[in-house]
């Protein structure tokens, strides 16, 4: 007996730990949201490459597509290019979409890449450490200009990050030395290049970063940032203000130098970008997560076709309904017809809504009872009698549907969703208990069944709960452990306190 | 509310949850249930072990037999029809004699042959059996109740329920039918439950619904201190049902026949809790005593009975 209880509590603990562990892992690490209406900022970014070709020339085109960006994750992406073969390659810090075609048709061509991206809270992404730096020797005047800036920056800095910031400050002054480095056309590009040149001379690895401000959707052009490796990690510095850190809405497209796109066999290439915000609900994000990485998400319900998902949404709530019945029966002592009949009635309530559900249920059962009492007089045997009641129930349903249609009450039509066989058995049982235990007892159980059905419906149709169970089916393991714990309850039911009232105060 | 809970707990009142998990599930193996769920099997087992039961007259298993009912029951002046797998005393018809070609029920109602046939075919199709399974009818000798109960019952047959745990009688009561219960010995339906002192076999006070009562509501005769005849014999029968079935937790129903003494009627593997109300005492303390005693080793029936009589007398 003792080993039995140890076994049981071990099982309960194991189920609870596994269930809640999976739940916490998936919520906190894999970022599956807890509620369905979590508002998540997401955008659709579209990059397209347009060019013209000549007939029958092979075409190879590639452009950089986003791969890893701090603060963002790619939920979904599509590649569109008619007849083109598409591969994606990782090159350095970037990802390339490679498009290829053996023979072009000679028309203007368009290649599209579309990504849905969203903000993420957790950001455990890290750029790898940079390769070793090759120092170029500069000519004398350049070297002097660099040295001057290095000296000035050194005086006003303490470490690599502040040094880089000071360098950018110096370069932004646009005095004689900087002119030499930055060049005549002072713009972001030349500024960043000059900064990299200076930093490389003192053996600091730096590279430019191209990206987009997602909140400024009207102007979808690339802005530059400077990424500096400080020996341990990368720091991002805004070249214009020389402040450190990436803004939250900055979406990194390309790391390092290099062309944004390359094309062989095509002419007059134009590369365009468009950004638009897209509202996406949390569940579809969880879904797209599952497409990406973790095997724990891969085997999730979100993988199923949508109509199957809907079925499972209902199925997954059945244990909740059963749990409600457990509470009502083992703790309260409510009497119902059949153990889980109320759960099935509650399922029907989903479509009919509670008030109408109760009205229809009572109507059908009471008319069914009248029919049953009449059949009693005919002295039918059990099976024919049940068949008769079933037929009467179906006729009643048709009748109610037609009448309510004519009266314009749409809710009456949903009567067809009631489980007929269950209703038939309920009527038969109610009638027998009416005969044998009296009307009071039968009505008590009938009312108990309705109460249980309403409560089960209320629990099962709770939308946040529904979402939670659907997104985290492992919570059913937790529920299972709770059921096992509650199943250990040996104490009195609420109804028993009244039943044994005569014994209270004895002795 | 919480106070009531604590008081019940202190008195050792058994709850349904605890009965099911700690007693029914622990001591009664599912495999053995058919022995008690089928009254014919119980009857045959009892006869093999020479425990007295009402003798079996006939079995009715097919509709064909129902057609020949008149011939089948012709030799018997009075008899009882019971569903073999019935529950709660439903579907039982007691025929005392025949008048004008009709069967006279114990409550005076007359039944035509056609009515009895309909009742039987309902019975065969499972109207009274647990879960509506097809059933068959047992026709057996009518028990003529010992006159000791004549003053304190209305129609029906008062029976004695003894609860046994591991073969030790733990508690007992008499169930007296009333007009309200229409002859049925079911406390739910208004029969009176009267606790019995296991040591002496004398009745204690009774319970009518949930109220304490010392007299029969129909006859107004006292129900206290009635000495039940054959008391130790009754306890022995109850105790021996453990060996008979192998079920450790049983409710044994016994009636006292005017001529033949105590007869075992049926066994119940999920005995109800009302016996506690009838005895106005929680049963758990007794169960614990019995479990402690049984842990010491197996005892013969006589010493089990005497243990119970010593320890559970009040």
CA A37 to chain centre: 10
Asked if A38 and A83 count as a contact pair (C-beta separation under 8 A), the reply is no
Could you tell me if B189 lies within 8 Å of chain A, comparing CB atoms? yes
Quick one: three-class SS letters along chain B? CHHHHHHHHHHCCCCHHHHHHHHHHHHCCHHHHHHHHCHHHHHHHHHHCCCCCCCEEEEECCHHHHHCHHHHHCCCCCEEEEECCECCCCCCEEEEEEECCEEEECCCCEECHHHHHHHHHHHHCCCCEHHHCCCCEEEECCCCECHHHHHHCCCCCCEEEEEEECCEEEEEEEEECCCCCCCCCCHHHCCEEEEECCCCCEEEEEEECCEEECECCCCCCECCCCECCCHHHHHHHHHHHHHHHCCCEEEEEEEEECCCEEEEEEEECCCCCHHHHHHCCCCHHHHHHHHHHHCCCCCCHHHHHHHHHHHCCC
- CA neighbor of B309 nearest in space, from B257, B255, B233: B233
Partners of A493 on chain B (C-beta within 8 Å) are: 15-17
CB–CB contacts below 8 A, A to B: 81
Q: Which residues contact B44 (CB under 8 A, 6 or more apart)?
A: none
**A→B interface, C-beta within 8 Å:** 330, 333, 379, 381-383, 432, 436-438, 441, 488-493, 496-497, 499-507
What integer pLDDT is reported at residue B139 of this predicted model?
Answer: 94
**Cross-chain residue pair B282–A382, CB shorter than 8 Å:** no
Asked if A436 and B90 count as a contact pair (C-beta separation under 8 A), the reply is yes
Splitting chain A (507 residues) into consecutive groups of 10 residues, what average pLDDT does each group show?
A: 80 93 83 67 81 83 82 79 82 84 79 81 68 76 80 83 82 73 74 81 84 72 83 82 81 83 83 75 58 56 68 86 92 86 85 82 88 81 83 87 79 68 82 77 89 92 85 90 91 87 69
Could you tell me if B276 lies within 8 Å of chain A, comparing CB atoms? yes
The dihedrals phi and psi of A205, each to the nearest 5 degrees, come to -80, 130
Q: Could you tell me the two tokens for A323?
A: 């749990």
**Cross-chain residue pair A491–B121, CB shorter than 8 Å:** no
Question: Which residue's entry shows tokens 């085109």?
Answer: A61
What integer pLDDT is reported at residue A412 of this predicted model?
Answer: 64
In angstroms, the separation between the Cα of residue B234 and the nearest Cα of chain A is 27
- Indicate whether this model's pTM tops 0.90: no
In angstroms, the separation between the Cα of residue B194 and the nearest Cα of chain A is 14
Residue B298: CB atoms within 10 A of its CB come to: 8
Mutation target to probe the A interface, by most A beta carbons within 10 A, among B2, B3, B4, B14 is B4
What integer pLDDT is reported at residue A11 of this predicted model?
Answer: 93
What integer pLDDT is reported at residue A299 of this predicted model?
Answer: 58
Q: Could you tell me the two tokens for B257?
A: 């026949």
Nearest CA in chain B to A493: B15
Asked if B199 and B285 count as a contact pair (C-beta separation under 8 A), the reply is no
Residue B221 in this model has a pLDDT that exceeds 70 = yes
Mutation target to probe the A interface, by most A beta carbons within 10 A, among B17, B118, B132, B192 is B17
What integer pLDDT is reported at residue A507 of this predicted model?
Answer: 46
**DSSP characters for A272-306?**
EEEEEE----HHHHHHHHHHHS-HHHHTSGGGS-H
**DSSP characters for A410-436?**
GGGGGGGGS-HHHHHHHHHHHHHHHHH
Could you tell me if B89 lies within 8 Å of chain A, comparing CB atoms? no
The dihedrals phi and psi of B114, each to the nearest 5 degrees, come to -65, -40
Whole-angstrom Cα distance, residue A292 to residue A30?
Answer: 11
Partners of B276 on chain A (C-beta within 8 Å) are: 500, 503
- At A201-230, the pLDDT tens digits run 878 888 888 888 877 665 567 888 888 887
**Cross-chain residue pair A507–B88, CB shorter than 8 Å:** no
**Cross-chain residue pair A506–B11, CB shorter than 8 Å:** yes
Asked if A133 and A203 count as a contact pair (C-beta separation under 8 A), the reply is yes
Whole-angstrom Cα distance, residue A475 to residue A483?
Answer: 12
The dihedrals phi and psi of A235, each to the nearest 5 degrees, come to -115, 140
Residue A222: CB atoms within 10 A of its CB come to: 15
Residue A416: CB atoms within 10 A of its CB come to: 15
Exposure on the CB side of residue B24, measured as CA atoms within 13 A: 18
Considering only the beta carbons, identify the residue of A432, A441, A491 that sits closest to B17.
A491
The dihedrals phi and psi of B140, each to the nearest 5 degrees, come to -135, 175
Question: Which residue's entry shows tokens 């170029």?
Answer: A136
**Cross-chain residue pair A504–B127, CB shorter than 8 Å:** no
Whole-angstrom Cα distance, residue B185 to residue B197?
Answer: 20
The dihedrals phi and psi of B246, each to the nearest 5 degrees, come to 85, 0
Dmax (CA) of chain A: 118
């Amino acid at each position: 007996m003792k080993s039995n209880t140890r076994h049981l509590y071990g099982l309960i603990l194991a189920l609870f730990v596994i269930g809640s562990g999976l739940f916490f892992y998936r919520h906190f690490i894999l970022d599956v949201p807890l509620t369905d209406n979590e508002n998540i900022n997401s955008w659709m970014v579209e990059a397209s490459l347009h060019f013209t070709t000549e007939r029958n020339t092979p075409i190879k085109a590639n452009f950089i597509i986003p791969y890893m960006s701090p603060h963002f994750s790619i939920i979904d992406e599509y590649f569109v290019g008619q007849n083109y073969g598409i591969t994606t390659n990782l090159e350095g810090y970037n990802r390339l979409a490679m498009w290829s075609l053996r023979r072009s048709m000679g028309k203007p061509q368009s290649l599209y890449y579309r990504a849905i991206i969203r903000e993420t809270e957790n950001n455990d992404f890290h750029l790898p450490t940079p390769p070793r730096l090759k120092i170029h020797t500069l000519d004398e005047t350049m070297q002097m200009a660099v040295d001057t800036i290095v000296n000035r920056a050194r005086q006003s800095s303490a470490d690599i990050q502040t040094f880089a910031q000071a360098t950018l400050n110096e370069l932004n002054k646009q005095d004689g030395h900087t002119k030499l480095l930055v060049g005549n056309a002072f713009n972001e590009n030349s500024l960043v290049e000059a900064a990299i040149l200076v930093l490389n001379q003192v053996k600091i690895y730096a590279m430019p970063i191209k990206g987009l401000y997602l909140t400024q959707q009207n102007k979808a052009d690339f802005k530059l940032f400077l990424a500096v490796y400080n020996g341990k990690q990368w720091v991002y510095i805004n070249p214009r203000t020389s402040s450190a850190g990436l803004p939250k809405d900055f979406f990194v497209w390309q790391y390092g130098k290099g062309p944004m796109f390359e094309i062989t066999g095509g002419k007059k290439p134009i590369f365009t970008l468009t950004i638009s915000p897209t509202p996406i609900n949390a569940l579809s994000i969880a879904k797209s997560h599952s497409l990406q990485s973790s095997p724990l998400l891969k085997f999730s319900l979100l993988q199923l076709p949508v109509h199957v998902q809907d079925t499972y949404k209902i199925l997954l709530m059945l244990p909740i309904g059963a749990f409600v019945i457990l509470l009502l029966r083992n703790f309260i002592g409510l009497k119902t017809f059949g153990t889980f009949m109320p759960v099935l009635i509650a399922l029907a309530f989903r479509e009919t809504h509670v008030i109408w559900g109760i009205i229809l249920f009572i109507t059908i059962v009471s008319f069914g009872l009248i029919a049953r009492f009449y059949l009693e007089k005919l002295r039918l045997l059990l099976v024919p009698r049940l068949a008769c009641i079933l037929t009467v129930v179906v006729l009643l349903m048709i009748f109610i549907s037609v009448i309510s249609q004519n009266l314009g009450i749409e809710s009456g039509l949903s009567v067809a969703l009631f489980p007929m066989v269950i209703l038939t058995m309920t009527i038969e049982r109610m009638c027998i208990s009416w005969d044998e235990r009296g009307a009071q007892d039968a009505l008590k159980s009938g009312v108990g069944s309705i109460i249980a059905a309403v409560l089960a419906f209320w629990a099962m149709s709770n939308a946040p709960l529904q979402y939670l169970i659907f997104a985290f089916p492992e919570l059913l393991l937790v529920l299972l452990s709770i059921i096992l714990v509650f199943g250990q309850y040996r104490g009195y039911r609420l109804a028993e306190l009244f039943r044994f009232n005569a014994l209270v105060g004895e002795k | 509310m919480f106070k009531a809970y604590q008081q019940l707990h202190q008195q050792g009142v058994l709850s349904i949850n605890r009965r099911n998990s700690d007693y029914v599930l622990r001591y009664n193996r599912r495999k053995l249930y058919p022995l008690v769920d089928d009254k014919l099997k119980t009857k045959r087992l009892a006869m093999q072990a020479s425990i007295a039961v009402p003798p079996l007259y006939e079995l009715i298993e097919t509709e064909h037999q129902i057609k020949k009912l008149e011939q089948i029951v012709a030799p018997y002046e009075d008899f009882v029809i019971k569903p073999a797998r019935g529950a709660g005393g439903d579907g039982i018809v007691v025929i005392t004699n025949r008048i004008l070609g009709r069967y006279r029920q114990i409550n005076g109602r007359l039944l035509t042959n056609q009515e009895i046939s309909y009742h039987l075919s309902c019975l065969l199709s499972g109207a009274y059996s647990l879960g509506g399974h097809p059933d068959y009818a047992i026709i057996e000798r009518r028990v003529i109740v010992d006159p000791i109960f004549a003053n304190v019952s209305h129609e029906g047959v008062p029976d004695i329920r003894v609860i046994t745990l591991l073969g030790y009688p733990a508690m007992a009561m008499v169930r007296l039918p009333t007009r309200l219960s229409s002859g049925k010995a079911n406390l739910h339906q208004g029969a009176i439950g009267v606790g019995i002192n296991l040591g002496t076999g004398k009745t204690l006070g009774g319970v009518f619904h949930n109220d304490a009562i010392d007299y029969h509501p129909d006859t107004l005769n006292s129900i206290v201190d009635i000495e039940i005849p054959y008391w130790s014999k009754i306890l022995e029968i109850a105790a021996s049902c453990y060996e008979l079935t192998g079920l450790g937790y049983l409710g044994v129903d016994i009636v006292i026949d005017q001529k033949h003494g105590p007869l075992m009627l049926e066994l119940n593997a999920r005995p109800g809790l009302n016996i506690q109300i009838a005895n106005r005492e929680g049963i758990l303390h007794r169960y614990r005593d019995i479990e402690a005693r049984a842990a010491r080793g197996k005892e013969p029936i006589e010493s089990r009975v005497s243990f119970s009589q010593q320890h559970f007398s009040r």
